[in-house]
Structure 1
Amino acid sequence: MKQGNVIVGLLAGLAAGAVLGILFAPEKGSDTRKKITNKGKTALDDLKNKYNDAINHLNSKLDKTKNNGLKIYHDGHELVENTKNKN
Structure 2
Amino acid sequence: MSTGKAVLGTVAGLAIGGILGILFAPEKGSVTRRQIADKGNDCVNDLKSKYEGFANTLKEKIQATKQEAKDIAEIGLDKFDKVQGEFNDEAKNF
| Matches of 1:29 and 1:78, distance apart in 2 | 73
Task: Using the TM superposition, give the Cα deviation of residue 48 of structure 1 relative to its aligned residue in structure 2, in angstroms.
Answer: 0.2
Confirm whether residue 28 of structure 1 aligns to residue 28 of structure 2. Answer: yes
5+ unaligned residues in a row in structure 2: which ranges? Answer: 88-94
TM-score for the superposition, normalised by structure 1: 0.98
Alignment match, 1:4: 4
Task: Using the TM superposition, give the Cα deviation of residue 86 of structure 1 relative to its aligned residue in structure 2, in angstroms.
Answer: 1.1
**Which SS does the other structure have where 2:26 is aligned?**
coil
Q: Deviations over 1:44-66 (max 9, x none)?
A: 00000000000000000111011
Consecutive aligned runs of 4 or more in structure 1 exceeding 2 Å deviation = none
| Matches of 2:77 and 2:11, distance apart in 1 | 51
Q: Deviations over 1:8-66 (max 9, x none)?
A: 00000000000000000000000000000001001100000000000000000111011
5+ unaligned residues in a row in structure 1: which ranges? Answer: none
Alignment match, 1:75: 75
| Matches of 2:56 and 2:79, distance apart in 1 | 34
| Matches of 1:30 and 1:10, distance apart in 2 | 28
